[in-house]
Amino acid sequence: MVGDSLNNILNRIFLVFLGIILCFSLVSIGQANERWESLSKGIEYGILQVKPLPEIGDGTIHIVRIDPAKAKLKLLLASEYGKKPLTTAQWCKEFNLVAAINAGMFQKDYLTNVGYLRNGSHIQNRRWNSRYKSVLAFDPRKAGIPPAIIVDLDAANATKGLESYNAVVQNLRLIKGNGVNVWGKSDKKWSESAVGIDKEARILFLFCRSPLTMWDFNEMIKSLGLDVVQLIHMEGGPLASLSIRTKDITLNFTGSYETAIRPDDENREQWPIPNVIGVQTR
C-alpha cells in the first residue's frame, strides 16, 4: 500500500512537471510551429488549452498524435481475447501499448460495439448502425494503401475499400471530411474521448475531461491548428478514457461529467471498457 501510494504521488508530481514543460513548449491557439513530446517512433504527446476556459475543469486537451506508417495501431476487444473489460491503463500494461483510448460506445452486454466492428476474422457486430456516419479503418491487408483512414458513410462508395483493412470500427461522427462540424447545437455536455485524422493522415487520440457540448468541442478542435479533417466520438462522461505508458511516463486520464447522467466532476477512477484502440512501437 505504501509503495502504491508513493507511486501515485510520484506520477502526479511528474504529470504536473510535464504539464509545466509542455505549457511552455506547446503553442497557444492559432499559433504555428507546434512542439510535441516524443513517446516513441511515430508517437507524440501534446497538451493544448481550451480558450476561454470552460465552467468546469482546467480545459486541458490531451493529444496523442500517431503516424500510422511508423507506429502500429491495434484494435483490442474483450470479446476476442475472452477477457473481462479492462481500464485503458490495464489494456496498456497487458498488451504493451504506448497509448490506448476508447474504441466506441458499447451495448448493454458490456462487450459489443454499438456500431459495426470487425477485427480480422472476428466480427463483433455485423450490423451497420444507420445513425453512425463515421468509420475508422486500419491495419491494411495489402500493400499500397493508406495505413489508416476515416470514412464518411454518406460519401459515394464509402464502404468499398473497407474490406482491405483488418480493423474496421463504426462510430458517431463529429467532424466530416474537410473539417465540417456536423453536430447540432445542444445544452448537453460531457467529458470526451475522440479519434481523428489530420491533413497529413496522422491519427489523433483526443481527451478532454472538462465537459463541453459537442458543437463547442468540434469548433474548439478546429481552432487549435491541428488540421483535423475528420473526427469520431468514441465515448463520453466517466467512461471516456486515455492512457499513456512508456518506460518514462505513465499517465491515466478519466472523464466524469455527463449531462443528466453524472453532472459532477467527482469521478477520479478509470472505468473498465471492453474495446480499445491502442498503439505500439513497430
Instruction: For the chain, give every domain's residue range.
Output: 2-281
254-279 residue pLDDT tens: 999 999 999 999 999 999 999 999 99
Euclidean distance between CA atoms 56 and 275, whole angstroms: 28
Q: How many CB atoms lie within 10 A of CB 114?
A: 17
Euclidean distance between CA atoms 282 and 278, whole angstroms: 12
The pLDDT of residue 22 is: 46
Distance of CA 79 to the CA centre of its chain: 20
The pLDDT of residue 24 is: 40
The pLDDT of residue 12 is: 54
The pLDDT of residue 282 is: 87
User: What is the pTM assigned to this prediction?
Assistant: 0.88
C-alpha cell at 116: 459495426
Euclidean distance between CA atoms 156 and 209, whole angstroms: 35
C-alpha cell at 40: 516513441
The pLDDT of residue 23 is: 44
Which parts of the chain sit beneath pLDDT 50? 1-7, 9-10, 13-14, 16, 20-33
The pLDDT of residue 50 is: 87
Cα 100-37-136 angle, rounded to 5 deg: 35
The pLDDT of residue 34 is: 55
71-90 residue pLDDT tens: 999 999 999 998 899 999 99
Q: Which residues contact residue 243 at a Cβ distance below 8 angstroms, ignoring those fewer than 6 apart?
A: 87, 88, 89, 91, 92, 97, 99, 100, 101, 251, 252, 253, 270
